[in-house]
């Protein structure tokens, strides 16, 4: 059974979905995007997820302790697992992630997998930057990506 609930946060409106035992999606509801017409059900797991996200956004948390499951190819899952290993306050390039997963020529494919990350923030695709150090692409917008990275750097320094 799929449960979803919508939340207003410091960085915009988000949707969190779970399947009864694990978080399966977290995404931004961008302007003009309609909320799905499904029954909304705020479960205990969703309440715990938003609690942890708000703690993170308040600078009180640097990692998440939530059960996660996402659909994707084996390659995508490898990339998403590598993203979870990037420490809070640090970044990696697409090429560095490609090397970490054992396929150094796959930086473009890493970018595509990063783009398909279904559990934003918790699986920190915002920590992946271009080889030149520039911020590139993010589902919540570059401004949100920059905000999250600055939040993390500030929190790690304190």
Helices (H), 36-124: 44-57, 74-84, 94-100, 107-115
Residues labelled catalytic? 125
Distance between CA atoms of 47 and 40, rounded to whole angstroms?
13
Q: DSSP secondary structure string, 107-147?
A: HHHHHHHHHT-SBTTTS-GGGEE-TTS-----TT-HHHHHH
How far apart, in whole angstroms, are the C-alpha atoms of residue 36 and residue 141? 21
Separation of alpha carbons 39 and 77, rounded Å: 29
Cα torsion angle, 122, 60, 55, 28, sign = negative
Dihedrals φ, ψ of 128, to 5°? -100, 130
């Amino acid at each position: 059974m799929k449960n979803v609930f919508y939340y207003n946060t410091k960085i915009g409106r988000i949707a969190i979905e779970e399947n009864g035992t694990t978080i399966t999606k977290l995404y931004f509801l961008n302007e003009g995007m309609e909320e799905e017409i499904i029954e909304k059900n705020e479960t205990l797991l969703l309440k715990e997820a938003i609690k942890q996200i708000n703690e993170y956004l308040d600078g009180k948390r640097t990692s998440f302790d939530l059960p996660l499951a996402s659909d994707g190819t084996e390659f995508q899952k490898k990339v998403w697992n590598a993203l979870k290993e990037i420490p809070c306050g640090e970044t990696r390039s697409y090429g560095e992630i490609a090397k970490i997963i054992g396929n150094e020529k796959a930086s473009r494919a890493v970018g595509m997998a990063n783009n398909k990350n279904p559990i934003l923030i918790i699986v920190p695709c915002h920590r992946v930057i271009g080889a030149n150090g520039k911020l590139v692409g993010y589902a919540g917008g570059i401004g949100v990506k920059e905000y999250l990275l600055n939040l993390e750097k500030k929190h790690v320094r304190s």
